Structure formats: C-alpha cells, structure tokens
Amino acid sequence: MGAGEKVMPEAVAPKPSEVSRPAVRPTTVYGASLHRLPRHGDMRGDLVVAEAEREIPFSIQRQFLVFNVPSPQVRGEHAHRTCHQFLIAVNGSLSVVVDDGTKRAEIRLNDRETGLHLAPLTWAVQYRYSSDAVLLVLASHAYDADDYIRDYDEFIDLVRGRS
C-alpha cells in the first residue's frame, strides 16, 4: 500500500453482529436491563472488561460469588431498597426471574459478556444453576440487612407507592 492511501482497517469497521447488538437492552421488566460487555480476544485468550459508572451503571462497593448451588435450589427471592446489582454468569449458566410488581420475565445468563442490571425495587429470584455455574454479583452498596425486602407483599406495596 502506498503512502498517503487511507484505508480503514478491517478491525475498525463494526461487524454486522455488533451493529445489531446494542450495548444496553431493556427487558420488559422495569429496572432490569441487559448490558453487553466489551470482549477482547486474541491467541492468548479472551478478556471481558467492565468499568464502574460506565458499563456498570454505578460505583462498586461490594462483590460476591455464588456457586455450588444445587440445581433444584432457588436463591435471591428479594428486592433491594437502594442497592443496585449487576449479575454476570462467570462460569456455567443460571436463570433469573425478574419482577417489577407488574411484569415478570425470565432471563438465562450463560455467557461472560452479558451483565444483568437490577435497579432498586426489582424483585429477583435465581434458579436452574448448572452444576458448574459461578455467579458474580457486583453491588453498589456494602451489606446492609435493612436494605433487603424479603416479603413479596411488602415489595408490591412499595412499588405501587412508586407509581
């Protein structure tokens, strides 16, 4: 190629798959959205990155891993008053049922490039963990037992008060 020629490198042109996949996809449930995380792959392996207050829409105060969950078990079953959460299946797969008090959806998390953002006052239940599943949860607040709403009827009262 001669000097002065301007050719757009292939790597810069967005792939059709990228064009059709927006970085943030809402779900039918208010407060629950799917976030696609940038992936950088080469012969040395793959890297998926997420920065606080960018791909992850809050500052990260806490993180936890959930694993060794027997498949029939159900976890979660609560909402938070103020805490945001961001869920990534870092290994294996699991399902999350999200519920805003009006609508309910089930989301299968099965890749490391997808984060599920749960805003406060989103009821969530996790189940159908694969035997090798490892769930990473990033949270906007330190642990506070008073932030948990564990009673579904109380949750419904709170979200009806919101609207």
Nearest-approach distance from CB 138 to a copy of itself, in angstroms = 7
143 makes contact with a copy of itself (CB under 8 A): yes
Residue 144 CA neighbour count, 13 Å, CB half: 13
Nearest-approach distance from CB 54 to a copy of itself, in angstroms = 8
Token duo for residue 41: 């792959």
Residue closer to a copy of itself by CB (options 91, 95) is 91
Q: Do residues 117 and 84 lie in contact, with contact meaning Cβ atoms separated by under 8 Å? A: yes
Q: Does the annotation count 117 as an active-site position?
A: no
Of the candidates 31, 125, 115, the one whose C-alpha atom is nearest the C-alpha of residue 74 is 125
Which residue in 35, 40, 78, 141 is the catalytic one? 78
Nearest-approach distance from CB 108 to a copy of itself, in angstroms = 18
9 makes contact with a copy of itself (CB under 8 A): no
Provide DSSP, 83-115: --EEEEEEES-EEEEEE-SS-EEEEEE-STTEE
70 makes contact with a copy of itself (CB under 8 A): yes
SS3 call for 152: helix
Query: Which residues are catalytically annotated?
Result: 78
Binding site for a copy of itself (CB under 8 A): 41, 43-52, 54, 56, 59-70, 73-75, 88, 90-91, 112, 129, 132, 134, 136, 138, 142-143
